Structure 1
Amino acid sequence: MEAPSEAQLPRRTGGWITFPFITGSSVGLTLAFVGWTSNLIVYLIKEFDVESIDAVQIANLVNGAGSLIPVLTAIIADSFLGCFSTIWISSIISLLGTILLALTATVDSLRPKPCEVGSTSCTPKPKVQYVVLYAAIVLATLGSGGTRSTLSTIGADQLADKPRDQGSFFNWFFFFWYSASVIASTAIVYVEDNVSWKAGFFICVAANVLGSAIFLMGSRFYAKFKPKGSPFTSLARVIVGSITKRQVALPSTADDFFQACNVVPKALAVVPSKTFRCLNHAAIISEGDIKSDDSTSNRWRLCSVQEVEDFKALIKILPLWSTSFFLGTTVGVLLSLSILQALAMDRHIGPNFQIPAGSVFIFVLISTALFLALFDKLVLPTWKNLTGKSLTPLQRIGIGHVLNFLSMVVSALVESKRLNVAKSNEGYNIVPMSVLWLVPQLALNGIAEAFHYPGQVSLYYQEFPITLKSMATAMISVILAISFYLATALIDVVRKTSTWLPGDINNGRVDYVYWILVIGGVVNFGYYVTCAWYYKYQNLKEVDHIDFPSDE
């Protein structure tokens, strides 16, 4: 028999050959999104005459949506479209939004005309300009959110047969993602501030096109998996099943509970735990629930005992999860108001260089990255030597809580000094005080993030049942989304009930806002300590084995 030709041989898909395409795509799309979001507040204020606090609110809504959309698109990808289709569709949506945003900086009729100097009235601004602007922001945010979680997922899927390589993939994937964020928030923002908004936004368009093209170029190498359903669906089925059968009496024997076909032998059949007993109704076998082949007739009426127990494990960790909302809220408020502070401060370094206000976020990124680099080699060994024990995820998150509200203390003190300098130099929009005064509060906030965010991911991956492991990242994304919305609500309440946040922050009391966050942070830390005290680890073995690498 004649050997098959090379063209007839089945092409091998998946593996590390896909890494350059997936990572290259992520870098391009990240450059595009971070390139315009980092400077959005400044663009709204300078080009569309949006009130400074309103611009902050819009930016917080964008950041919140940017964190929530990845969760929603992950559900769509898992349940219907698959990662590949979700990514290319989302990249096109992102491109349309970015192009539309670039046009607002290019076409004169799409942005308001500046008021003439000395004029007592300005030409009314056409509403269509703001419609186009917000449509561009919505499309670009929606598209970027659709690729953020699915790119990392499809990358991990390519190494499904090599679990050890998946950890290496995530390390390098997020390293390039982080690097792209740094470049976008510095280089692209600098172009927007010092060359033109048009040039900066079209760089974002080019990056989006390049990222999309790189992803599609690797299509022939990807291992593409059919949607298997989202873990959120199984959680929803437990709720529906327990409500549907709420009137059915709970049996006492394991035989009356559904153990899942071909999964649990009868000898190992178990009765659901007594905690949250109302959910046990979802696993009760009623007449007509089981077919002749032992499969379920209606998956929304009958769930397995394991699915019910998985849901209970999630409920047990929800109080700890909720303590992180306020952590993200302080981050959202600090980053937004820091940009307004930077706009009102001396941003010059030397006679010829001026730090873009939208780039102050870089100090958070740098401090987080540097501290994470030192964490395994310095922090963990030092903790071990001082306490004789390894640092657990709960302890790591707790330290992050403390550093978080301490960064707010520094923020309040620095702003108080800035306001005193402003009062001594009334009549000047730019306070003669270096923007580098903001570095300590931003750096401290970055170090806090290096503690609590990785600590949360570690805790969720450790404590979640194996069927819900993929939800760990989603839990963090939901925290960030809710936090930015809470930051928006907090700023709105402060603005409506006080005079602390006027259009010109030199006439306000931003330091009072920071002191409110300090008080809230201390109260929230007390809530966290209470939740952590009563929480019992589900996987004690994993906790015991958390340690720093040994040199022996």
Structure 2
Amino acid sequence: MNDCGGSAMAELEDEEERVSLTLDSQVGVVVDGAVDYKGQPSIRSKSGSWKSARFIIGVEVAERMAYYGIQANLISYLTGPLHQNTATAAENVNIWSGTASLLPLFGAFLADSLLGRYRTIILASLIYILGLGLLTLSALLPSLTKYECQLDSKFTSCSPQLQVILFFISLYLVAIGQGGHKPCVQAFGADQFDERHPKEHKARSTFFNWWYFTMCAGCMATLWILNYIQDNLSWVIGFGIPCVAMIIALLVFLLGTTTYRFNIQECDKISPFLRIGRVFLAAIRNRQTTISSMSIEEESRGILPHQNSEQFNFLNKALLAPKGSKEEETCSLTEVEEAKAVLRLVPIWATTLVYGIIFAQIFTFFTKQGATMERTIFPGFDIPAASLQTLGTLAIVIFSPIYDRLFVPMARAITGKHSGITMLQRIGTGIFISIVTIVLAALVEMKRLKTAQESGLVDDPGATVPMSIWWLIPQYFLFGVSEVFTMVGLQEFFYDQVPNELRSMGLALYLSIFGVGSFLSGFLISVIETVTGKDGQDSWFANNLNKAHIDYFYWLLAGFSVVGFAMFMCFAKSYVYNHKGASRV
């Protein structure tokens, strides 16, 4: 960057610092648009910012520990105590994960339109705790009653029907609780930073980085312990600990109530969902209106075309009033721009779905790969295969500070942007790294299959392939690095680029990428299982992984990812940010 650019940046930062100091020096200054827990104007010095965010981040650490305590080893429970085959178990994991990631759309609607984020978090936490409690009870049932099934004239132990039913009811109660909890907690945390205050605006961007860092740091050690308990000691204790964690999380959240800032909800204001929905309906209603007549009508209402953004001009027709209608029945320019902002997100959302499909493999086939490999750390101790998921978390813990303290300042010096690179550039970088990850996973699986063949273990599904599980380290670690770019970038992007009243929905849209990705993964597995397993042949996902071809599946995903990445780059290049400052934060 040239000297003039550097000077301009320094002057901008100095001015922002002066504004911040002026605002901070005003004792008792209130935060516009926010109230405290008593409904009184929120005092800046006594509320919000990091003093509130710390409580909320603590809640997220406990909630993620509970969620990943279930998801991380779920395929092992389904193929173990519940005796499901590999393909069925993988499909069930994907369906549950997909549902859990799509339900935040409903939770966000509930929060943004009816209850508010604070009340939704409390309600969701209670459902969460109920689900985890019943899940623990379902794991306890086999020890209370012995149940046997007849298989080929022999009797063998199996899961009682009541356990299976209670297990899946509990599992989906957890998904419902997570659906209300996840989008609201992060949005509520980001709400604690006033975007009109320069210092807090910068802190909000940092909040997203440290949110993800602390969440992963807290989960890392916990998952090692939980996965070991579940695999070697007791599933009852392994499910019970997350239940206790969620109870603690709710108590911590309530303790921070006196410090929180709550956005003012205008009772007479139309729901943002209805407001945006009627823009599309009005545009459809006026679809046959000509541009010339529209411009005349706009001019008569004091709205000039150049005030509007140039994308999705067909929505401009929503500005027209049908003959005989009242002025208040028409859509305003602000409402049209809100609808355009939401519509601009669709191509970005769609082109990141393949990333969600790759993400789904971490909890299914990555884990199944590791279960067949040499896992002995020292005599008498085998590392649980699911524990390798913490390697991705470790990568996040290591790389997040590097990104925030080294990468961003270096990139800032080159680009002149406060965040170093734009949100879409950050997302794209992570997608590219994920492509490298899945290619590497395919190569490692090819090596594993070759080792099994050379060792004469192809027909022995229970044998341990003489290949260290540490071969999987690179694919876990690289995907963790990709998460620092893509996950955090998506969180900030979908929070920042939606209308203020829809920020819970924005984060729900981010989560839905992984929900739809899980469903697509399950769909692909089902189709491939049917096609490759017909006529009695071993499918790509055979129960005997030494006869399966997960590597083919990984190569297929790599191909999809390349196409998705190319499309993402095209849409990102033409994307118009919703806020003037968005491209620099």
TM-score normalised per structure 1: 0.83
Question: What are the superposed Cα offsets for residues 289-337 of structure 1, whole Å, 9 maximum, x if unpaired?
Answer: 436xxxx2x4xxx321222233234434432332111112112124410
Q: Is the 8 A contact 2:66 2:242 kept in 1?
A: yes
For 1:328 and 1:46, locate their aligned partners in 2 and report how far apart those are by CA, in whole Å: 26
> Residues 41-52 of structure 1 correspond to what in structure 2 (within 5 A)?
41-52=75-86
For 2:255 and 2:311, locate their aligned partners in 1 and report how far apart those are by CA, in whole Å: 51
Whether 1:512 aligns to 2:552 is yes
**Structure 1 range deviating more: 173-182 or 140-149:** 173-182
Structure 2 residue aligned with 1:315, among 340, 343, 351? 343
Match of 2:105 in 1: 71
User: Structure 1 residues 403 and 112, CA, compared in 2 at 3 Å: closer, same or farther?
Assistant: farther
Please tell me the residue identity of whatever aligns with 1:407: T
Match of 1:211 in 2: 249
For 2:295 and 2:177, locate their aligned partners in 1 and report how far apart those are by CA, in whole Å: 47
Could you say what secondary structure the match of 1:48 adopts? coil
Q: Is the 8 A contact 2:184 2:504 kept in 1?
A: no
> Residues 341-490 of structure 1 correspond to what in structure 2 (within 5 A)?
341-379=369-407, 391-423=421-453, 424-426=455-457, 427=460, 428-457=462-491, 459-460=493-494, 472-490=506-524
Q: Is the 8 A contact 1:112 1:129 kept in 2?
A: no
Match of 2:32 in 1: none
User: Structure 1 residues 184 and 55, CA, compared in 2 at 3 Å: closer, same or farther?
Assistant: farther
Match of 1:286 in 2: 322
Question: What are the superposed Cα offsets for residues 249-298 of structure 1, whole Å, 9 maximum, x if unpaired?
Answer: 55646673499xxxxx948786756653432232212355436xxxx2x4
Q: Is the 8 A contact 2:142 2:160 kept in 1?
A: no
Match of 2:541 in 1: 501
Q: Is the 8 A contact 2:352 2:513 kept in 1?
A: yes
User: Structure 1 residues 314 and 48, CA, compared in 2 at 3 Å: closer, same or farther?
Assistant: same
Whether 1:80 aligns to 2:140 is no
User: Percentage identity across aligned positions?
Assistant: 31
Q: Is the 8 A contact 1:320 1:528 kept in 2?
A: yes
Quote how far apart the aligned CAs of 1:169 are.
5.0
User: Structure 1 residues 124 and 492, CA, compared in 2 at 3 Å: closer, same or farther?
Assistant: same
**Structure 1 range deviating more: 212-221 or 42-51:** 212-221
Match of 2:355 in 1: 327
Structure 1 residue aligned with 2:281, among 240, 243, 265? 240
Please tell me the residue identity of whatever aligns with 1:406: V
Whether 1:530 aligns to 2:570 is yes
Question: What are the superposed Cα offsets for residues 339-367 of structure 1, whole Å, 9 maximum, x if unpaired?
Answer: 11111112121224322122221111211
TM-score normalised per structure 2: 0.79
> Residues 11-410 of structure 1 correspond to what in structure 2 (within 5 A)?
14-15=47-48, 18-19=52-53, 21-108=55-142, 113=147, 120-122=154-156, 126-160=160-194, 163-164=200-201, 166-167=204-205, 170-219=208-257, 222-225=260-263, 227=265, 231-246=272-287, 252=293, 256-257=297-298, 266=302, 272=308, 275-287=311-323, 289-290=325-326, 296=328, 298=329, 302-379=330-407, 391-410=421-440
For 1:459 and 1:450, locate their aligned partners in 2 and report how far apart those are by CA, in whole Å: 14
Q: Is the 8 A contact 2:94 2:522 kept in 1?
A: yes
**Structure 1 range deviating more: 207-216 or 153-162:** 153-162
**Structure 1 range deviating more: 113-122 or 529-538:** 113-122
**Structure 1 range deviating more: 73-82 or 334-343:** 334-343
For 1:270 and 1:109, locate their aligned partners in 2 and report how far apart those are by CA, in whole Å: 71
Q: Is the 8 A contact 1:94 1:143 kept in 2?
A: yes
Higher relative contact order (CA 8 A, sep 6+): 2
Quote how far apart the aligned CAs of 1:462 are.
6.4
For 1:391 and 1:158, locate their aligned partners in 2 and report how far apart those are by CA, in whole Å: 24
User: Structure 1 residues 48 and 315, CA, compared in 2 at 3 Å: closer, same or farther?
Assistant: same
Quote how far apart the aligned CAs of 1:407 are.
1.2
Q: Is the 8 A contact 2:494 2:510 kept in 1?
A: no
**Structure 1 range deviating more: 146-155 or 322-331:** 146-155
User: Structure 1 residues 395 and 181, CA, compared in 2 at 3 Å: closer, same or farther?
Assistant: same
Quote how far apart the aligned CAs of 1:38 are.
1.5
Number of matched residues?
Answer: 525
Q: Is the 8 A contact 1:26 1:151 kept in 2?
A: yes
For 2:162 and 2:285, locate their aligned partners in 1 and report how far apart those are by CA, in whole Å: 49
User: Structure 1 residues 538 and 90, CA, compared in 2 at 3 Å: closer, same or farther?
Assistant: closer
Could you say what secondary structure the match of 2:364 adopts? helix
User: Structure 1 residues 18 and 334, CA, compared in 2 at 3 Å: closer, same or farther?
Assistant: closer
- Structure 2 gaps of 5+ residues are 1-37, 533-538
Please tell me the residue identity of whatever aligns with 2:553: V
For 1:521 and 1:470, locate their aligned partners in 2 and report how far apart those are by CA, in whole Å: 28
Quote how far apart the aligned CAs of 1:526 are.
2.8
Please tell me the residue identity of whatever aligns with 2:314: C
Q: Is the 8 A contact 1:86 1:150 kept in 2?
A: yes
Question: What are the superposed Cα offsets for residues 126-173 of structure 1, whole Å, 9 maximum, x if unpaired?
Answer: 433321111000001111221112123333444558644545655554
For 1:271 and 1:540, locate their aligned partners in 2 and report how far apart those are by CA, in whole Å: 14
Q: Is the 8 A contact 1:28 1:208 kept in 2?
A: yes
Could you say what secondary structure the match of 1:49 adopts? coil
**Structure 1 range deviating more: 21-30 or 466-475:** 466-475
Q: Is the 8 A contact 2:359 2:514 kept in 1?
A: no
For 2:248 and 2:316, locate their aligned partners in 1 and report how far apart those are by CA, in whole Å: 51
Q: Is the 8 A contact 2:141 2:163 kept in 1?
A: no
Quote how far apart the aligned CAs of 1:507 are.
1.6
Quote how far apart the aligned CAs of 1:494 are.
1.4
